[in-house]
Amino acid sequence: MDRKKQFLPMTRTEMDAYGWDELDVLVITGDAYVDHPAFGAAVIGRVLEADSWRVGIIAQPDWTNPESLTALGRPRLFCGITAGNLDSMLSHYTAARRKRKEDAYTPGGVIGKRPNMATVVYTQLVKKVFPGIPTVLGGLEASLRRIAHYDYWQDKLRPSILQDSKADILVYGMGERAIREIARRVAANKELEEIPGTARLLGGRESSERDFSNCLKLPSLEECRADKKAVLELTRLTEREQNPFGGRPLVQLHGARALLVEPPAKPLTTAEMDRVYELPYMRLPHPAYKEPVPAFTMIQASVTVVRGCCGGCAFCGLGLHQGRFLSSRSENSVVREVQSLTEMPSFKGTITDLGGPTANLYGCTNGVCKACKTCRRASCLIPAVCPNLKLDADSAIRLMRRVRELEKVKHVFIQSGIRMDVALRNPNYIRELAKHHVSGHLKVAPEHMHPNVLRKMRKPGPETFCEFQKIFEAESRTAGKKQYLVPYFISNYPGSTEAEMKAVERFVREEEWKLQQVQDFIPLPMTPAAAVYYTGLDYETGEPVPVTRGLAERRTQMKQLRPHSALKGRRSKR
What ranges make up the beta strands (E) of 204-283? 216-217, 250-254, 257-261
CA 349 vs. chain centroid, Å, equals: 28
User: Considering the domain boundaries, does residue 209 fall inside one?
Assistant: no
Q: How far is CA 239 from CA 215, 244, 313, in A?
A: 15, 12, 12
CATH number for the domain spanning 555: value is 3.30.750.200
On whether residue 401 sits in a domain, the answer given is no
By residue count, the chain amounts to 574
Last-in-domain residue among 180, 200, 220: 200
- Low-confidence stretches of the chain (pLDDT < 50) are 1-3, 566-574
The model's pTM: 0.94
Q: What residues form DSSP beta bridges with 351?
A: 412
> Is 254 among the domain residues?
no
Dihedral sign, CA of 373, 377, 381, 383? Answer: negative
pLDDT digits (tens, 9 = 90+) for 509-520: 888 777 766 789
Measured CA to CA, the distance from residue 149 to residue 157 in angstroms comes to 6
3-state SS string over 272-341?
HHHHHHCCCCCCEECCCCCCCCHHHHHHCCEEECEECCCCCCCCCCHHHHCCCCCEECCHHHHHHHHHHH
**Per-residue confidence (pLDDT) for residue 568, from 0 to 100:** 41
Looking at residue 382, its pLDDT comes to: 95
Do 63 and 122 touch, CB atoms closer than 8 A? yes
Residue 490 pairs with which residues in a beta bridge?
A: 519
Task: Tell me: cis bond preceding 9? Omega within 30 of 0 counts.
Answer: no
User: How many folded domains does the chain comprise?
Assistant: 2
**pLDDT (tens digit per residue) in 244-274:** 999 999 999 999 999 999 999 999 999 999 9
Domain end: 200, 227, 253, which one? 200
Check if the beta carbon of residue 68 is closer than 8 Å to that of residue 58. Answer: yes
564 domain-assigned: yes
Predicted confidence at residue 553, as pLDDT, reads 85
| Domain final residue, candidates 200, 219, 247 | 200
Give the structural domain span for 556: 440-574
Which letter, b or e, does each residue of 179-190 get, where b requires 16 or more Cβ atoms within 10 Å of its Cβ? bbbbbebbeeee
pLDDT of residue 567: 39
Beta-bridged to residue 411, according to DSSP, are 350
Residue 386 lies in a domain: no
